[in-house]
Amino acid sequence: MKLADLAAAGTEAARGGSSDEHAAIALAGTDNLIGDLFAAREEPDTHSVGWNLNADHAGAGFALEAARALFRHIFDDRGARRLHAYVEVDNASSRRLCERLGMRVEGTFVEFVTFTGDPDGMPVREDTMQYAILRREWNAAGRARAAARVA
């Protein structure tokens, strides 16, 4: 999401802070916010999930750790049956994260979304992949991770 100015960013932060759909990612033992997660419920038992992480903290496993905790919460506490995420085709780090979380590609939407414009001000539309995971897939992957730790 691109915000027009600091006031718009403040409004968005206040909206997100008052919702249980958004969570901050902070470094343990500090006040340093390094990103955020969201999970928006879609009736009856599906959630759209996503994340944003400060590029200075990429590759350290923080997004994976935070997303796993979010997935556990949504499946175990909210009773979700299915989670899905939209990821732009050229966002390799989010695609890898989805795959490490056990999500599978369900399809690609061609020219689905726009975040930028070309030099003439025309929208640049991006291809977007949809990843998803079912609760039964998440549980099976968790059992496999636990077995690997024991072995």
pLDDT the model gives residue 13: 57
| Predicted TM-score of the model (pTM) | 0.81
| Closest CA relative to residue 82, chosen from 19, 121, 40, 53 | 40
The pLDDT confidence band at residue 113, using thresholds 50, 70 and 90, is confident
pLDDT at 61 over 80: yes
DSSP 26: E
pLDDT the model gives residue 12: 57
Contacts of 6 (CB under 8 A, 6+ apart): none
The 3 state secondary structure assigned to 66-113 is HHHHHHHHHHHHCCCCEEEEEEECCCHHHHHHHHHCCCEEEEEEEEEE
DSSP 32: -
Query: Where is 132: in which H helix or E strand?
Result: strand 123-134
Report d(CA 70, CA 137) in Å as an integer: 16
Residue 101 token pair: 């979380």
pLDDT in tens, 15-27: 555 567 899 999 8
The pLDDT confidence band at residue 82, using thresholds 50, 70 and 90, is very high
pLDDT the model gives residue 142: 86
pLDDT the model gives residue 1: 44
Over range 87-115, report the average pLDDT: 95
More confident residue, 79 or 145: 79
Q: Which CATH superfamily is domain 6-150 in?
A: Gcn5-related N-acetyltransferase (GNAT) (3.40.630.30)
